[in-house]
Amino acid sequence: MDKEPWILGISASHNGSACLLKGDRIVVAIQEERLSRIKRHRIYGAKASKAVAYCLNHAGIEPSDLSLVVLCIQGRKQDHQLHDLRLDPFLNVITNKIPTITIPHHYGHALSVFATSGFAESAVLIIDGTGSPVSDFTAEELNVMNGNKAPDSWETISLYHASGTTIVPPSIMCSTTQTSRIPLSASTRPFTVPPRAMSMTGKLVMLITSPTASTSEPRK
């Protein structure tokens, strides 16, 4: 048990949060807003956060005890001043020699829901306002994306296949331009280029953009 790695996950998003695992067991997880009392408090990979400090303090460990830090960004990884983990003054990943991984936003959603689902195998559908830009996609994701493939496009709906400890991107991924990241409503249509109508994702997009559709919490 003691030899199992400490793994820290950070969600650098509008719902900033951190999660600490010992091996495959979740030890503690918390959102920044619970500590700052600022609703939906955003945190950044390059900056210290109350959530990360809380998790390590709860476990009684120091940053140097971490075996891995995984960062999931809602935004552009290329915004180094915001999301470069090497700049985090609390974790000090270079000095502490902590390996880091940065994963796309929808990929993080898919991993987290499948890992806690109890399923041995599953399809995972992520419907999310805006996650990561195309420039931050994995090579596998770039090979399967559909919709608007422009360099400034962002992932919007993604499908993954998860099995055991493996999760691979879908046969379909829809993207849209950043300028079209507007709230879904009866009068607005968020996709500049409609996905293929006959695909499963296409049907879902048609459903949620129909005149009768609405969302209570857009752009989440």
Contact footprint for Fe ion (CB under 5 A):
128
Nearer to Fe ion, 67 or 112 (CB): 112
Query: Using an 8 Å Cβ cutoff, are 134 and 175 in contact?
Result: yes
Cβ neighbours of residue 92 closer than 8 Å, sequence gap 6 or more: 63
State the nearest-atom distance from the C-beta of 55 to Fe ion, in Å: 20
State the nearest-atom distance from the C-beta of 73 to Fe ion, in Å: 10
Nearer to Fe ion, 87 or 134 (CB): 134
State the nearest-atom distance from the C-beta of 131 to Fe ion, in Å: 6
Residue at shortest CB range from Fe ion: 128
65: left (phi over 0), alpha (psi -120 to 50) or beta: alpha
Nearer to Fe ion, 65 or 128 (CB): 128
4: left (phi over 0), alpha (psi -120 to 50) or beta: beta
Nearer to Fe ion, 79 or 128 (CB): 128
Residue 161 has what DSSP assignment?
E
State the nearest-atom distance from the C-beta of 128 to Fe ion, in Å: 4
